[in-house]
């Protein structure tokens, strides 16, 4: 992976590591989703799910890690920044041995190993460019993470798109196709990390008060309509349009290993210092293999 691209994400973690309080309402929303999902899936005497994967764990400010440990037997933390993740685990009051750290990991592999040359659409590079897009859109990634009951994407899509924008710029002739590849690849990788019947929770920021000042005063009741209006006005971060994400999930639902159900979660606001974000989520349950009835025995006794 390229050190300059990785450093950008690590620097962001260092800037936000002390913002635990600012994340409170956002963290509460995500924990509600995780807790209710764990309750739906839990079995056994201890009422714990087997495992959860947190994609983009970082400083773990989006979740209450101690609370997650009460719900799952094993917690897989996936991120570029191993130092940040290990620091959070060490700071927990009780060390349980439940945590598995997968870092440094490029969740959008091979995105952080690419250069602008890889995206050149000219004839002498067209075949290579197509191979790069196919790799970005594939379900192959974070290979050492086993299938889990729950997979949570913690606002990492916008960060992936940010890395792509830094690589080639949004005016690049390949940018739109590359963005689609990164987004589809992320959805496919979430599903590939789920056991059959497991649940993915896709969380994404969509727009900030930098371009939508009304977010700073929006009530929970007003927010869904505000977000719909912003989307209609094309006022959102590149690649995060929830209508497009839902459409791509519907495409994936045609696959035997795709979504069985997709539930839209009402958006919420996330106040982070001098900026307020709108955040939305999807709860995606993976299909289970169809049970094949045993063949009838026509042999006369």
DSSP state string for 206-242: EEETTT-GGGGT--TTTHHHHHHHHHHTT-S-TT--H
Is the residue at 136 inside a domain? yes
The CATH number given to whatever domain includes residue 55 is 3.40.50.150
pLDDT at 217: 95
Q: How far apart are CA 38 and CA 70, in angstroms?
A: 10
Q: What is the pLDDT of residue 299?
A: 43
Indicate whether 298 belongs to any domain. Answer: no
Domain for residue 69, yes or no? yes
Element (H, E) at 165: helix 157-168
Task: Give the count of domains, the chain.
Answer: 1
Residue 105 belongs to a domain: yes
Whether residue 177 is contained in a domain is answered as yes
Range of the domain at 71: 3-207+242-283
pLDDT in the model for residue 298? 45
Whether 21 is covered by a domain: the verdict is yes
What does the pLDDT average to over 89-95? Answer: 88
Q: Is residue 135 part of a domain?
A: yes
With respect to residue 215, please indicate whether it lies within any of the assigned structural domains: no
pLDDT on residue 95: 76
Instruction: State mean pLDDT over 234-253.
Output: 96
Residue 93 has a pLDDT of 85
pLDDT tens track for 195-231: 999 999 999 999 999 999 999 999 999 999 999 999 9
């Amino acid at each position: 992976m390229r050190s300059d691209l990785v450093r950008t994400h690590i620097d962001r973690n260092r800037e936000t590591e002390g913002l635990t309080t600012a994340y409170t309402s956002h963290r509460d929303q995500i924990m509600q989703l995780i807790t209710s999902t764990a309750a739906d899936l839990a079995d056994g005497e201890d009422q714990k799910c087997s495992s959860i994967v947190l994609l983009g764990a970082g400083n773990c400010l989006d979740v209450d890690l101690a609370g997650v440990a009460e719900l799952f037997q094993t917690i897989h933390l996936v991120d570029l920044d191993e130092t940040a993740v290990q620091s959070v685990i060490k700071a927990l009051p009780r060390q349980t041995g439940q945590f598995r750290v997968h870092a440094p990991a490029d969740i959008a592999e091979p995105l952080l190993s690419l250069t602008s040359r890889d995206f050149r659409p000219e004839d002498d590079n067209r075949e290579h460019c197509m191979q790069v897009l196919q790799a970005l859109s594939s379900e192959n990634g974070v290979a050492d993470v086993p299938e889990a009951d729950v997979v949570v994407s913690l606002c990492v899509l916008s960060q992936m798109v940010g890395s792509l924008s830094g690589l080639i710029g949004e005016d690049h002739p390949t940018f739109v196709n590359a963005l689609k590849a990164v987004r589809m690849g992320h959805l496919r990788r979430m599903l590939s990390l789920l056991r059959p019947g497991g649940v993915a929770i896709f969380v994404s920021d969509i727009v900030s008060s930098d371009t939508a000042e009304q977010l700073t005063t929006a009530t929970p009741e007003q927010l869904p309509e505000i977000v719909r209006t912003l989307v209609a006005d094309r006022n959102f971060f590149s690649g995060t349009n929830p209508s497009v994400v839902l459409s791509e999930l519907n495409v994936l639902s045609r696959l035997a290993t795709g979504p069985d159900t997709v539930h839209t979660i009402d958006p919420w606001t996330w106040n982070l210092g001098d900026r307020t974000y709108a955040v939305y989520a999807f709860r995606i349950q993976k299909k289970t293999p169809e049970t094949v009835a045993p063949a009838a025995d026509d042999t006369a006794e």
